[in-house]
């Protein structure tokens, strides 16, 4: 049985037309976007390390209940934020 991380990563990959690779980081890697899926806002520093060095827009996907804390933590960052359904809450400003 798949856990919520895998389900969310597959859903996001399908929405953006790419594949989820469980054994690679970031979790979802598309030609135009990179997404790291996490379950808690406290994991944002780890997610940012995993997204370091990638080119183009990058996002951290978190459950909706974690968004208030995540928005506070990401307020001065270029990394964007989305929920587990792929709906963008904060746009990435990375070029």
62, burial (CB in 10 Å: exposed 0-12, middle 13-18, buried 19+):
buried
Per the listing, tokens 């990435």 go with: 92
Angle subtended at Cα 33 by Cα 48 and Cα 81, rounded to the nearest 5 degrees: 50
| pLDDT score of 78 more than 60 | yes
Cα–Cα distance measured from residue 33 to residue 59, given in angstroms and rounded to the nearest whole number: 8
Element containing residue 49 per DSSP (H, E): helix 44-51
What pTM was computed for the model?
0.92
- State residue 94's pLDDT score: 85
- State residue 2's pLDDT score: 60
CA atoms within 13 A on the CB side of 65: 2
- State residue 19's pLDDT score: 86
pLDDT in tens, 32-75: 899 999 999 999 999 999 999 888 999 999 999 999 999 999 99
Nearest to 84 by CA among 54, 53, 42, 40: 40
């Amino acid at each position: 049985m798949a856990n919520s991380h895998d389900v969310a990563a597959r859903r996001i990959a399908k929405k953006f037309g790419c594949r989820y690779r469980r054994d690679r980081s970031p979790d979802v890697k598309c030609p135009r976007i990179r997404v790291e899926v996490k379950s808690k806002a406290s994991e944002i520093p780890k997610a940012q390390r995993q997204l370091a060095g990638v080119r183009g827009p990058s996002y951290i996907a978190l459950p909706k209940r974690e968004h208030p804390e995540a928005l506070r933590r990401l307020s001065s960052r270029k990394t964007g934020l989305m929920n587990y359904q792929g709906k963008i809450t904060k746009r990435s400003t990375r070029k």
